[in-house]
Amino acid sequence: MKNKIIAGNWKMNKTRIEAEQLINALIPLVKDTKNTVVICVPFTDLCKAVKLTKGTNIHVGAQNCHWKESGAFTGEIAPSMLTELGVEYVVIGHSERRTYFGETDATVLARTKAALAAGLKPIVCIGETLEERNSGNMEKVLQRQVREGFKDVTEEELANIVVAYEPVWAIGTGVTATDEQANDAIAFVRSVFADMYGKEAAEKLYIQYGGSMNDKNAEGLLNMSEIDGGLIGGASLVAEKFAAVVNAHK
């Protein structure tokens, strides 16, 4: 059985001082887990996070990167700028990036390829809106996001990617898909990857659930057969709550 990959997405939260307090509180709480622990922090916290987690079992990720190594892209960060700091993971295509900042399947693919080329491990997000689910288009949307967002990704590259299924209607709303809904959606996503890359590659692929997983519901979700971890939002901002998610699956 796979271990789980539990990644905390801090979003636009925590100053450097607050980040230091949170990380120092988290380190002893997760030191014995067999799961992979990742904290995806704001750009301004990356240096501090890398320094504080050195020698621990906590890995550091960023929340975005550009598809170019340099150039006239004001406000963007190149993948090599992240690896130079010691960053290992990067979130790409989060629903908030798609909704508020015009991210598309094409830009997700471009960022993913650039991140891989730089040696980063992308956490690539996909997911449907409530309207898309209620209209019966969930599978159509997920299939499009996978086929378009991964069409130039090789099987070898896929082995270094984590996919996060995050139903948009369950992010920050307090509404969570049932364990079975989440498991079924991830099973469908895995079937699309199996069609593209073969069954073995799809089974090895880590697919997280990213829709308001927290310390109260993590155990049930993480014990489902298809769910390989979680991309955690609000609960990752409190050390005890995030640790409870990390430790929910032994």
pLDDT digits (tens, 9 = 90+) for 164-208: 999 887 776 666 678 999 999 999 999 999 999 999 999 999 999
pLDDT of amino acid 250: 76
192 occurs within a structural domain: yes
Pairing of strands 162-165, 206-209: parallel
The CATH number assigned to the domain holding 119 equals: 3.20.20.70
* Angle at CA of residue 111, ends 238 and 214, nearest 5°: 20
pLDDT of amino acid 172: 67
Taking the C-alpha atoms of residue 181 and residue 49, their distance in angstroms, rounded to an integer, is 34
pLDDT of amino acid 1: 61
25 occurs within a structural domain: no
How is the chain split among helix, strand and coil, in percent rounded to 5? 45, 15, 40
Is 157 a residue of the active site?
Answer: no
Q: Name the active-site residue from 66, 94, 128, 132.
A: 94
105 occurs within a structural domain: yes
Neighbours of 241 (CB within 10 A): 18
Residue 249 pLDDT grade (very low, low, confident, very high; cuts 50, 70, 90): confident
Under 8 Å between Cβ of 171 and 215? no
Alpha helix (H) residue ranges in the chain = 16-30, 46-53, 79-85, 95-100, 105-117, 130-134, 138-149, 155-158, 179-197, 199-204, 218-222, 239-246
pLDDT of amino acid 11: 98
30 occurs within a structural domain: no
End-to-end CA distance of the chain: 11
247 occurs within a structural domain: no
Give the pair of three-digit tokens for residue 176: 């969570």
Return the SS3 of 163.
Answer: strand
Average pLDDT of the chain, as a whole number: 95
Query: Which distant-in-sequence residues (6+ apart) come within 8 Å of 160 by Cβ?
Result: 116, 121, 122
Q: Is the pTM of this model over 0.75?
A: yes
pLDDT of amino acid 174: 67
21 occurs within a structural domain: no
Q: Name the active-site residue from 103, 128, 132, 166.
A: 166
Q: Which of 133-147, 158-172, 204-218 has the lowest mean pLDDT?
A: 158-172
How many domains does the chain contain in total? 1
Question: What pLDDT, in 10s, does the model give residues 74-102?
Answer: 999 999 999 999 999 999 999 999 999 99
- Residue range of the domain that includes 58: 5-13+35-66+75-238
Is 203 a residue of the active site?
Answer: no
Under 8 Å between Cβ of 219 and 248? yes
18 occurs within a structural domain: no
23 occurs within a structural domain: no
